[in-house]
């Protein structure tokens, strides 16, 4: 393995050699951050979703005379025809799948059999009918304590997805790729039977796993206006000590994702801190990376001496591919 200092560090080759060590370090560095919504604000957040029945929204508002905790909850009164599902949906910040995610919601209703589900997006596989990433609904627990508050949840969400992969491959083809899957919606099936259903929703919670990210470097470089670029020599912010990567003397645990056209900020919000490009970063991408504290990898196909400083500073390493003789 051949490595160069600073942004010329052949990071991907390093990852290939010590990937198992890094994976263990990633697991050791993970911590849980909880999302919680107590529905105390005036504006409703649930929306009507897909249904196979006639669905009429009679009333929908935040109320402050009934709650599981605090003062407020979200109240809906809906009328159903004959069918099997009438989805209400709640948007969440995209979260990568781990079994500990466990999205949960407290509900109270005058009808049983309401069920909580989670919509999972598979960004690496496109549905040929919609031309959008494949999505699937994973089931959770079902409401049965009529007229009382009961907590519903979607447990073991990652394990559920991988049990479903064979069926998804039968539907979409053997190329279906479940890597980098994430949840973006929590769904409540409000259908129980034809008629009118009243329901109160409160205390949504979800535990997302995040990984500590080293702070971004404060490198500086200067260039002349001539075609021959000169760079001010500065200490490298990146170092390898044993099997550990350090950025600005802080341990750095890379979480790498291949870029497939997704917004950079979206990938950062999912917890990735290194984005693998098949080209050099664009100027606006480099600026955004600086703001978000993330890095890029890029193909090693030109001398770094010809790359502008603001681009160079956003690249943590060059991908030499299979040929590391250069």
Contact between 110 and 146 (Cβ < 8 Å)? yes
The C-alpha atoms of residue 128 and residue 176 are separated, in whole angstroms, by 12
What would the mean pLDDT of 207-216 be, rounded to a whole number?
46
Distance, CA of 37 to CA of 206 (rounded, Å)? 9
Give CA–CA dist 209/37, Å, rounded: 18
Does 47 score more than 70 pLDDT? yes
pLDDT at 212: 34
pLDDT of residue 290: 85
Q: Is the pLDDT of residue 20 over 80?
A: no
Q: How many CA atoms lie within 13 A of 324 on its CB side?
A: 15
Cα–Cα distance for residue pair 124/131, rounded to 1 Å: 12
Dihedral through CA 180, CA 181, CA 184, CA 185, nearest 10? -170
Whole-number pLDDT of residue 43:
94
Write down the pLDDT at residue 206.
Answer: 92
Task: Give the span between the Cα atoms of 191 and 303, in whole angstroms.
Answer: 62
Instruction: Indicate whether 170 pLDDT > 60.
Output: yes
Q: Which residue has the higher pLDDT, 6 or 318?
A: 318
Homologous superfamily (CATH) of 38-211 is Galactose-binding domain-like (2.60.120.260)
pLDDT score at 242 = 64
pLDDT at residue 179 above 80? yes
How high does pLDDT run on average in the chain? 80
Least confident range from 5-9, 39-43, 67-71, 256-260: namely 5-9
Range list for CATH 2.60.120.260 in the chain? 38-211
């Amino acid at each position: 393995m051949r490595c160069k200092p600073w942004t010329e560090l052949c990071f991907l080759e390093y990852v290939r050699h010590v990937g198992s060590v890094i994976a263990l370090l990633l697991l050791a560095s993970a911590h849980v951050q909880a999302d919680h919504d107590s529905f105390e604000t005036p504006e409703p957040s649930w929306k009507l979703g897909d249904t196979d029945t006639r669905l009429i929204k009679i009333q929908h508002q935040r109320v402050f005379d009934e709650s599981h905790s605090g003062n407020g909850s979200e109240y809906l009164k809906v009328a159903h025809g004959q069918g099997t599902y009438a989805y209400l949906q709640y948007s969440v910040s995209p979260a990568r799948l781990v079994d500990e995610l466990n999205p949960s919601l407290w509900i109270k209703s005058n009808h049983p059999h309401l069920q909580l589900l989670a919509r999972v997006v598979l960004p690496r596989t496109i549905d040929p009918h919609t031309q959008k990433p494949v999505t699937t609904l994973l089931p959770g627990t079902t409401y049965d304590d009529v007229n009382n508050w009961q907590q519903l949840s979607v447990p073991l969400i990652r394990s559920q997805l991988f049990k479903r992969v064979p069926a998804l491959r039968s539907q979409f083809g053997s190329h279906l790729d479940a890597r980098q899957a994430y949840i973006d919606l929590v769904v409540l099936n409000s259908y129980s039977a034809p008629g009118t259903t009243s329901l109160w929703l409160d205390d949504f919670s979800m535990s997302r796993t995040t990984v500590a990210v080293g702070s971004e470097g404060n490198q500086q470089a200067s260039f002349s206006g001539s075609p021959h670029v000169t760079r001010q020599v500065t200490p490298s912010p990146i170092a390898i000590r044993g099997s550990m990567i350090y950025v600005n003397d802080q341990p750095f645990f890379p979480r790498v994702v291949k870029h497939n056209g997704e917004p950079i900020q979206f990938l950062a919000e999912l917890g990735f801190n290194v984005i693998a490009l098949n080209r050099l970063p664009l100027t606006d991408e480099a600026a955004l990376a600086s703001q978000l504290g993330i890095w890029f990898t890029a193909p090693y196909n030109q001398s770094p001496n010809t790359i502008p400083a603001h681009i160079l500073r956003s690249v943590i390493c060059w991908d030499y591919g299979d040929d590391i003789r250069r």
